[in-house]
């Protein structure tokens, strides 16, 4: 048995992270990324600026606040299927395309060779047999609890560069980080018959208590990650483990159509305004064109488009190749000879990949059109007061409430919509306690993309749990807030100092999203 461990720094209540906050690296807008919107008339621009101004009146809801996805918002019953509804403004024909994509999203892949032909190609090493296996009910993943498996959570692997050539690849963004030489970029805990899985993730929790300003005690847990039963020898000495739960799938197509200039305008890598918030973009390379692009998907904002996200997930999670990621053996490395010798599921009559263009196109369309559910209780006095507390604590500095999507979006369902994701989609330093010690492009170890908050109040309804943050360590919203460090430290400390009624109002507001 072989194990590797990663351990967070000292408890945040007993340390200062001053200086860490300012340690981000300034990132200028690169050539090719617009710094002003090029899709609007002057009249439209003025209109956008007017409707996206921060709230000032908390006595009543803002106009259209109950429709966080604009005209695409789902008004269906807020039940277990609340995250699985199509954009409400799709055409009849597009709804059919959405349903086809849904079927492929749920499709169970099998190992090769198989009589199914169009369904084989699984693995040979993998984490799940279907997209839906990780994104249960299109909702939020969770760490394994009790006897449950780790299907909706996995470990990213990354090692330090060894040569000038590797450093150049990282600097040029040809690669965002470097995989472990034996186990690749992701630990695969499942394998096809005849092969051994790479290993098994282990989590040990250290329980502790945080005492708030009014004496309320909040139980917390600090995770420690390791890998057991490594099947192919030791990992590289510099390889780190970064746990990731799968995020909810709602509103992704709308996020994709936020103009990059609106996100870049929020960046302040050097904290020029002195507010303690120094968000920065993750500039990546588009997997298909090779051009520089704004990363906006993933916990580290490491992916610029949903098609690329789908292609990477097919290859990395299921071991299925697609036209945008021709990795027939998934994440297998040169050190895993038996894996690379296994049969693939490529069918010549269907193309040169296991999931040809129709599959990737349909799954991408499905991912782009999972609707954001309508808000609940927007006019409730406690919710409105909680919204004011949210603003007063400075939460809106990172969790930007509103955007208006592009006029020229490829799909009319996403075009010129006022949306309320509550995220700036930038990287922020969250302190040593949340550091995973991995660099992903411009993202340093403690830097994470601000996650959208829309739909967060339906997590338990859809996913059956209330685990939050990138690794699900927080068991409720209060714990999630108390884990904020770095740029979130002031808001966290402000929350801890609130009276119970104020804290309850803030949580009620978040639960209404």
**Residue-wise pLDDT tens digits, 313-325:** 999 999 999 999 9
- Mean pLDDT over 236-256 rounds to 97
- Give domain status of residue 11, yes or no: no
Look at residue 407 and tell me whether its pLDDT is greater than 50. Answer: yes
In this prediction, residue 25 carries a pLDDT of: 35
State percent of the chain over pLDDT 70: 93
| Residue for token pair 């799709």 | 90
How far apart, in whole angstroms, are the C-alpha atoms of residue 441 and residue 439?
6
User: What's the pLDDT at 185?
Assistant: 97
Segment 250-272 mean pLDDT: 95
User: What three-state secondary structure class fits 19?
Assistant: coil
| Cross-strand pairs, 283 | 294
Categorize the per-residue pLDDT at 270 as very low, low, confident or very high, splitting at 50, 70 and 90.
confident
Q: Are 220 and 505 in contact (CB under 8 A)?
A: no
**In this structure, how many other beta carbons lie within 10 angstroms of the beta carbon of residue 271?**
15
Q: According to the model, what pLDDT value does residue 57 have?
A: 97
Examine the pLDDT at 9 and tell me if it is beyond 60.
no
Residues 4, 235: contact at Cβ < 8 Å?
yes
Burial of 387 (0-12, 13-18, 19+ CB in 10 A): buried
pLDDT in tens, 295-346: 999 999 999 999 999 999 999 999 999 999 999 999 999 999 999 999 999 9
Beta-strand pair 200-211/217-228: antiparallel
Mean pLDDT of all residues in 156-175: 96
**How many domains, in total, are found in the chain?**
1
pLDDT in tens, 26-70: 344 555 788 999 999 999 999 999 999 999 999 999 999 999 999
Q: Quick one: pLDDT band at residue 15, thresholds 50, 70, 90?
A: very low
Q: By C-alpha distance, which of 162, 164, 145, 144 is closest to 153?
A: 144
Buried b (16+ CB within 10 A) or exposed e, 243-264: bbbbbbbbbbbbbbbbbbbbbb
Does residue 307 form part of some domain?
A: no
DSSP 461: H
Return d(Cα 80, Cα 463) in angstroms, integer.
Answer: 7
pLDDT at 32: 72
How far apart CA 233 and CA 238 sit, in angstroms, is: 15
Residue 323 CB coordination number (10 Å): 17
Is residue 313 in some structural domain?
no
Q: What is the DSSP letter of 370?
A: B
Q: Can you give the pLDDT at residue 274?
A: 87
Q: What is the pLDDT of residues 441-499, one digit of tens each?
A: 999 999 999 999 999 999 999 999 999 999 999 999 999 999 999 999 999 999 999 99
Q: Rounded distance, CA 384 to CA 378, Å?
A: 7
Q: Is residue 471 part of a domain?
A: yes
In-domain check, residue 186: no
pLDDT tens digits for 58-88?
A: 999 999 999 999 999 999 999 999 999 999 9
Q: What is the pLDDT of residue 24?
A: 32
The angle, 0 to 180 degrees and rounded to 10, between the axes of the packed helices 381-392 and 500-512 is 100
Residue 140 lies in a domain: no
pLDDT at 29: 56
Can you give the pLDDT at residue 115? 80
pTM: 0.92
Does residue 17 carry a pLDDT above 50?
A: no
Q: d(Cα 129, Cα 173) in Å, to the nearest integer?
A: 30
pLDDT of residue 31: 59
- Lowest-confidence pick of 31-40, 243-252, 408-417: 31-40
Domain membership flag for residue 75:
yes
Rounded to an integer, what distance in angstroms lies between the CA atom of residue 305 and that of residue 413? 17
Rounded Cα gap, residues 243 and 411, in angstroms: 34
Backbone angles phi, psi at 223, to 5 degrees: -85, 150
Q: What pLDDT digit, counting tens, does each position of 176-217 carry?
A: 999 999 999 999 999 999 999 999 999 999 999 999 999 999
Higher pLDDT, 144 or 70: 70
pLDDT digits (tens, 9 = 90+) for 346-394: 988 888 999 998 999 999 999 999 999 999 999 999 999 999 999 999 9
What are the CA-CA distances from residue 121 to residues 195, 345, 362, 413 (Å)? 14, 4, 18, 34
Q: Name which of 228, 231, 238 is nearest 157 in CA terms.
A: 238
Q: Indicate whether 115 belongs to any domain.
A: no
Which pLDDT band holds residue 116 (cuts at 50, 70, 90)?
Answer: confident
**In 3-state terms, what secondary structure has residue 324?**
coil
- How many whole angstroms separate alpha carbon 372 and alpha carbon 86? 9
Domain that holds residue 399: 17-90+249-281+370-512
* Closest of 180, 190, 193 to residue 241, by C-alpha: 180
The strand pairing partners of 155, in sequence order, are 243
For residues 191 and 197, give the distance between their C-alpha atoms in angstroms, rounded to a whole number: 5
């Amino acid at each position: 048995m072989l194990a590797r461990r990663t351990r967070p720094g000292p408890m945040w209540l007993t340390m200062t992270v001053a200086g860490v906050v300012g340690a981000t690296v300034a990132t200028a807008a690169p050539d090719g990324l617009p710094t002003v919107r090029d899709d609007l008339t002057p009249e439209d621009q003025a209109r956008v600026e007017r409707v996206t101004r921060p709230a000032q009146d908390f006595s009543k809801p803002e106009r259209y606040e109950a429709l966080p996805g604009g005209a695409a918002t789902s008004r269906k019953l807020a039940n277990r299927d609340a995250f699985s509804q199509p954009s409400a403004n799709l055409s009849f024909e597009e709804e059919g395309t959405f349903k086809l994509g849904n079927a492929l999203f749920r499709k169970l892949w099998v190992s090769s060779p198989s009589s199914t032909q169009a369904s084989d190609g699984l693995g040979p090493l993998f984490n799940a047999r279907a997209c839906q296996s990780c994104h249960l009910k299109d909702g939020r993943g969770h760490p394994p609890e009790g006897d449950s498996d780790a299907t909706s959570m996995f470990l990213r692997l990354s090692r330090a560069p060894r040569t000038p050539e590797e450093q150049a690849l990282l600097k040029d963004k040809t690669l965002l980080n470097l995989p472990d030489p034996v186990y690749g970029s992701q630990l695969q805990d499942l394998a096809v018959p005849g092969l051994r899985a790479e290993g098994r993730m282990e989590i040990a929790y250290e329980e502790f208590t945080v005492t708030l300003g009014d004496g309320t005690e909040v139980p917390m847990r600090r995770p420690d990650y390791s890998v057991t039963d490594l099947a192919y020898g030791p990992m590289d000495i510099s390889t780190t483990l970064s746990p990731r739960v799968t995020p909810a799938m709602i509103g992704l197509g709308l996020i994709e159509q936020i103009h990059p200039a609106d996100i870049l305008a929020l960046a302040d890598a050097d904290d020029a305004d002195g507010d303690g918030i120094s968000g920065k973009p993750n500039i990546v390379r588009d997997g298909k064109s090779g051009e520089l692009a704004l990363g906006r998907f993933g916990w580290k904002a490491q992916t610029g488009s949903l098609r690329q996200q789908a292609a990477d997930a097919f290859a990395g999670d299921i071991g299925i190749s697609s036209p945008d990621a021709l990795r027939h053996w998934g994440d297998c490395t040169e050190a895993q000879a038996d894996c690379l010798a296994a049969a693939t599921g490529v069918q010549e009559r269907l193309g040169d990949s296991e999931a040809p263009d129709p599959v990737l196109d349909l799954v991408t369309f499905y991912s782009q059109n999972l609707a954001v559910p309508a808000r609940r209780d927007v006019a409730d006095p406690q919710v409105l007061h909680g919204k004011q507390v949210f603003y007063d604590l400075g939460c809106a500095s990172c969790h930007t409430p509103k955007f208006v999507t592009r006029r020229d979006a490829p799909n009319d369902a996403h075009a010129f919509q006022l949306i309320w994701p509550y995220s700036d989609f930038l990287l922020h330093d969250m302190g040593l306690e949340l550091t995973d010690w991995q660099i992903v492009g411009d993202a340093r170890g403690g830097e994470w993309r601000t996650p959208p908050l829309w739909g967060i109040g339906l997590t338990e309804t859809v996913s059956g749990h209330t685990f939050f943050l990138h690794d699900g360590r927080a068991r409720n919203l209060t714990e999630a807030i108390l884990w904020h460090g770095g740029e979130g430290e002031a808001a966290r400390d402000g929350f801890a100092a609130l009276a119970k009624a104020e804290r309850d109002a803030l949580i009620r507001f978040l639960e209404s999203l």
